Amino acid sequence: MLRVSPDGKEVWVQTAEANTNVVLAVSDLAVLATQPTGKQPVTNGGDTFAQVFDARTFKEVKRLTIGQGGTNIGFSQDGRTAFIAVRGANEVAVIDVDRLALAKRIKAGKEPQGLIVR
C-alpha cells in the first residue's frame, strides 16, 4: 500500500511483511524515514488500532483503538474526518482528525473492506 503526500514530494509506503511505514522522496526515492507499525499497515489489519503519523516529522503521534481488522481508509473532502472500515467489528470507525479521536462507529455489512467517501 502506498500514499502520495498532498504536495507530491513524498511517497509513504506501508510494508505488510516488515510492518513498517517507509517515507521516500519522490525526486530520487531516498528513504527519509522508517517507522514501525502494527501488523498489516496502513490501518494495522492484524491489530486493533490505527496509527497517526506527523507528516512533518514522520513520527507516530497517536494510536486509536478501532477494533480488529482495520482495512481501508478514506477522508472527507475537508480532511477533518477519516473513515476506516473495520472487518472484525462489521463497522466503519469515524475519526475526528482535529481531535485525533474516535468520534463514532457506523454499523456496516459483514466484513467491510473498501470505502468511497463523497
Residue 100: pLDDT band with limits 50, 70, 90 = very high
Cell of 13: 509506503
- The pTM for the full model equals 0.74
Cell of 109: 455489512
Cell of 64: 486509536
The pLDDT, as a whole number, for residue 70 is: 85
Average pLDDT for the chain: 89
Spatial distance between the Cα atoms of 65 and 88, rounded to a whole number of angstroms: 13
Residue 42: pLDDT band with limits 50, 70, 90 = low
Q: Are 49 and 81 in contact (CB under 8 A)?
A: no
Q: Are 41 and 54 in contact (CB under 8 A)?
A: no
Asked if the model's pLDDT at residue 43 lies above 70, the reply is no
The pLDDT, as a whole number, for residue 14 is: 84
pLDDT in tens, 54-76: 888 989 999 999 998 888 888 89
- Write down all domains in the chain, each with its CATH number in brackets: 2-107 (2.120.10.30)
